[in-house]
Amino acid sequence: MHATHFSVTPGVEVGGAGEGHGEGRLRRDVGGWLAGLIVVNATIGTGIFKTPAHVARSAGSVDAALLVWCAGAAVALSGALSLAELAAAMPRTGGLYEYIRRAYGRGPAFVLGWTKLTLLMPSSIGGFARLAAEATASIVGLAPDPRRESIVAAAFVAASTAANLLGVRANAAQQAIVTVAKYAGVVLVGAVGCFVAARASPETLPLPTAAPFAAAPTAVGLFAALVSVMWAYDGWADLSLLAGEVRSPERVLPRALVLGTIAVGVAYLVANVGYARVLGIEGLRRSGAGGETVAANLATLTLGAAGRRAVSLLVLVSCLGGCMSTLLTSPRMLVALSSDGLFPRVVGDVSARGVPRVAVLLGGALGVVFVSFRSFEQLTDAFVFGFFPFYMAAVAGVFVLRRRAKEMPRPFRVPGYPVTPVVFLAGAAAVIAGSAGSAGTSALFAFAAMAAGVPVYFAWKRWAAPPA
């Protein structure tokens, strides 16, 4: 590994053949282009295909919905710029875990790791796999069946887990191909909407059975819309989890975080303009009935049944890429906790191929459990409510560490400081407020998972933690 500004637990094995423990076994196999593609792959998943319908129903008009998508892009870019400073200064595996540990201490960092394991990683994996199963049913012409879709989703999780056990380089190369294909597909969907005339009226689409919508923009509706938009933009921070495997991280991490987030924002805006042109507010509100996504309805109205199947295939590829990306990045946080003595040592074991096999298998197993009893909406709501407090804590760490660690080398500094991180914090606070009012049991589920980490931390610290 390159030299960094931290140290891991003394006595950690580094190098050698076979299985080893800790971050020293991870390889710096990720270059600049691949890092940028990981940002794009981690971000483009389920959101851009499914959530525009909910955004339109909540926002109340096409103009308001497009404004919310632009606001989401600004919030995500502000977060990426802020996190880039921390990533360049502390290029350690685990990303947000390390920033929170350095800013606030081991306790809050442990709660993040615990929440990542018990809620965030399986919810993200499950959300991707759920929509991939729905897309598969659409491709083969089957009616929606939640039980069958749970089985198919579990199979997709298992396949993604197996792919991640092949090694970082092989897995990342596969993801690069998937990322290029799905990015081009999203832009193409938007282009079809912008330039191809609709063959039928959006009023021909079936009405959702239980999907109330705002008749005009309201503050409450815009907050609810922003929650869905930020789910679609989530993923830009995942590259930081791989910081210990990125070459020249002080230079590559900021560039990939920022450029990858901008690229996603451009694709999302193109897609939403295409949706708005073909579907209008009525078609957007109707999308989602019968399991069809907004993108599938656009393709059906412009290109017919063949277009719908092509978009369903794009959704399938995109969601599989997102599932694989989550299983690539999230387990690295567990390796960092294990290296610091905050998780069992076996969780941090890394194979000769540079894969934290136990952590990956844990993520895959919990993903299968989650898709077995939670819907797509429950998975995504719990993820948003559970992760954004930690996003806010990490970005606020820019202020904390500038005051407490003035001597820390900062190869990249947030442009527009302090306004840029404040923009993200304000947007994230709006997301949490919106999700708290609409997520219901999912919000309580997320809060319970986070709260459980506090007594677990003190129990681990007292009875199980290795001596420092």
> Residue 458 belongs to a domain with what CATH number?
1.20.1740.10
Phi, psi at residue 414, to the nearest 5°?
A: -60, 120
- Residues 6 or more apart whose CB falls under 8 angstroms from that of 466 comprise 9, 341, 345
pLDDT of residue 211: 55
Helix (H) or strand (E) holding 21: strand 20-21
- Residues 6 or more apart whose CB falls under 8 angstroms from that of 65 comprise 52, 55, 56, 59, 225, 272, 276, 281, 284
DSSP state of 143: P
Please state, as a whole number, how many other Cβ atoms lie within 10 Å of the Cβ of residue 219.
9
pLDDT of residue 411: 93
Mean pLDDT by 10 residues, the chain (468 residues): 35 36 73 88 83 86 92 93 94 92 94 93 88 86 82 93 80 80 92 84 64 66 82 86 88 93 94 92 76 83 87 88 89 92 89 87 92 73 78 95 92 94 90 66 79 92 70
Q: Which of 321, 323, 322, 267 is nearest to 295 (CA)?
A: 267
pLDDT of residue 361: 94
pLDDT of residue 21: 61
* Cβ pair 24, 15 in contact under 8 A: yes
Note whether residue 363 is domain-resident: yes
Note whether residue 360 is domain-resident: yes
| pTM of the entire predicted model | 0.84
Structure tokens at 264: 């996603």
Amino acid type, 377: E
pLDDT of residue 235: 84
DSSP state of 208: P
pLDDT of residue 14: 32
Note whether residue 9 is domain-resident: no
276/258 Cα distance (integer angstroms) = 27
Note whether residue 16 is domain-resident: no
Structure tokens at 359: 């952590």
* Cβ pair 149, 137 in contact under 8 A: yes
pLDDT of residue 9: 34
* Cβ pair 390, 115 in contact under 8 A: yes
Note whether residue 211 is domain-resident: yes
Structure tokens at 466: 């290795």
Residue with tokens 């897609």: 271
DSSP state of 350: E
pLDDT of residue 18: 39
Domain that holds residue 198: 28-464
Helix (H) or strand (E) holding 20: strand 20-21
* Cβ pair 235, 322 in contact under 8 A: yes
Domain count across the chain: 1
Note whether residue 136 is domain-resident: yes
pLDDT of residue 135: 86
The DSSP secondary structure of 233-273, one letter per residue, reads HTTTTGGGGGGGGBSSHHHHHHHHHHHHHHHHHHHHHHHHH
Note whether residue 13 is domain-resident: no
Q: Which of 144, 191, 180 is nearest to 37 (CA)?
A: 180
Note whether residue 3 is domain-resident: no
